[in-house]
Amino acid sequence: MAALPYWRLSSFYLFYFALLGSTAPFLALYFDHLGFSSARIGELVAIPMLMRCVAPNIWGWLGDYTGRRLVIVRFGAVCTLLTFSLIFVSKTYAWLAMVMALHAFFWHAVLPQFEVITLAHLQGQTNRYSQIRLWGSIGFIITVVALGRLFEGLSLDIYPVTLVLIMAGIVVSSLWVPNAQPAQGNRIAGDGFLKQLRNPGVLAFYACVALMQMSHGPYYTFLTLHLERLGYSRGLIGLLWAVGVVAEVLMFLAMSKILARFSVRRVLLASFLLAALRWLLLGSFAEFLWVLLFAQVLHAATFGSFHAAAIQFVQRSFGARQQGQGQALYAALAGTGGALGALYSGYSWNALGPALTFSIASLAALAAAVIIATRMQEDRP
């Protein structure tokens, strides 16, 4: 068995999720800084998520067909950097919408294919996935805390520059990663992607992925603005985002033991129920710091345990030649749900207010819990 390139894989996750750490908390704040309304902010944030509905499936099919997944990762990373750099040309709504769409088309080519490469390097040691993926969480933490402090003293006008620097880090780290192909022979040749998709519980799982990401819409689009208007400083807001991801890191460290003891179904069900609670707390009680801290700790479940269990479910639900498409569909439906969440929260934020907007998110998470409880069969851990 070849040695696991732990640090090379981990460095890619570090930079990739550092980019997410710079966009999730601050992208809406930047658009607000440019003077856009809540509805326009929701639309601009939704555009990359909408591209996530389409792009991963195109790149996923290409990766499975050619087997050249690492080439796709590197190509996507370079094109993400080049297309996002167009943001320096203009700041009009139409131009920004185009930049959001173009860079997201290539950005969403990257992670699903890289997940397949990572799992191939693990050679069946899927319990070690969380130990590598936690470096993505560390990258998120470093970025969100650093930018929160930075923007307390400096103008948001420099925000696009920070994103370009992180994107350059993604390009460099992708060049350092060695290639690996999934092992063949896990399933018979006749088991195509669509046939595997119809296996019990698989469609229900993907529906729940969309609902879970839809429930995150207000969180990723408006939490920073919500907290800023409640009187929290940008530095403290950055730390609060970091609290959630620290909890996520600790969860990733524990996930191999959790998934060895509990079934994927039970882990997903608990994640959905805790998400429903979290959104209610953020929408109605965020002015209380202790409640806000508790709600952020719940990120361990709403992202950490959910994502680790979901990746394991996809990995064992599809054969080697369908891994790219399985991961791409996961990304696409997460994007569909995320886009719907960003859009509805953008339109409802001013009309209904934060409490009702987050309550809708809570209902979406509860719906996912009901589906997973009734439609997915109990699996052996």
**185 pLDDT higher than 60:** no
The reported pLDDT for the residue numbered 190 is: 42
Residue 285, pLDDT above cutoff 60: yes
Lowest mean pLDDT among 82-91, 159-168, 186-195: 186-195
Closest CA to 268 of 224, 200, 205, 219: 205
Does the residue 2 lie in any domain? no
Instruction: Confirm whether 381 is domain-assigned.
Output: no
**Over 80: is that where the pLDDT of 2 sits?**
no
Residue 64 lies inside a defined structural domain of this protein: yes
The percentage of the chain sitting over the pLDDT mark of 70, rounded to a whole number, equals 93
**pLDDT tens column, 216-264:** 999 999 999 999 999 999 999 999 999 998 998 899 889 889 998 999 9
Reply yes or no on whether the pLDDT at 167 is more than 50. Answer: yes
- Res. 379 pLDDT band, cuts 50 70 90: low
pLDDT tens profile 342-355? 999 999 999 999 99
How far is 50 from 55, CA to CA, in rounded Å?
Answer: 9
CATH number at residue 310: 1.20.1250.20
**What's the average model confidence in pLDDT over 270-299?**
98
pLDDT at 187: 45
The secondary structure of 184-252 as a DSSP string is S-SS-TT--HHHHHTSTTHHHHHHHHHHHHHHTHHHHHHHHHHHHHTT--HHHHHHHHHHHHHHHHHHH
- Say if residue 29's pLDDT is above 90: yes
Rounded Cα distance between 203 and 32, Å, is: 38
In a domain, 1, yes or no: no
The CA distance from 195 to 182, in Å, is 19
Higher-pLDDT residue of 295, 120: 295
pLDDT at 183 (0 to 100): 66
Residue 3, in any domain of the structure: no
What pLDDT sits at residue 131?
Answer: 83
Structural domain includes residue 31: yes
pLDDT tens, residue by residue, 69-124:
999 999 999 999 999 999 999 999 999 999 999 999 999 888 888 988 998 888 76
Q: Which residue has the higher pLDDT, 327 or 156?
A: 156
Total structural domains within the chain: 1
pLDDT of 239: 96
Q: What is the mean pLDDT of the chain?
A: 90
pTM: 0.85
- pLDDT band at residue 300 using 50, 70 and 90 as cut-offs: very high
Of 341, 148, 171, nearest to 233 by C-alpha is 148
- Is 119 domain-assigned? yes
Residue 186 has pLDDT above 50, yes or no: no
- Integer Cα distance of 226 and 358 in angstroms: 11
Angle at 184 between CA 179 and CA 188, to 5 degrees: 155
Domain range for 214:
8-183+191-375
Is position 277 within any domain?
Answer: yes
Q: Where are the alpha helices (DSSP H) in 38-128?
A: 38-66, 69-84, 93-122
Reported confidence tier of residue 188, pLDDT bands at 50, 70, 90: very low
| 13-22, 98-107, 323-332: the lowest-pLDDT one | 323-332
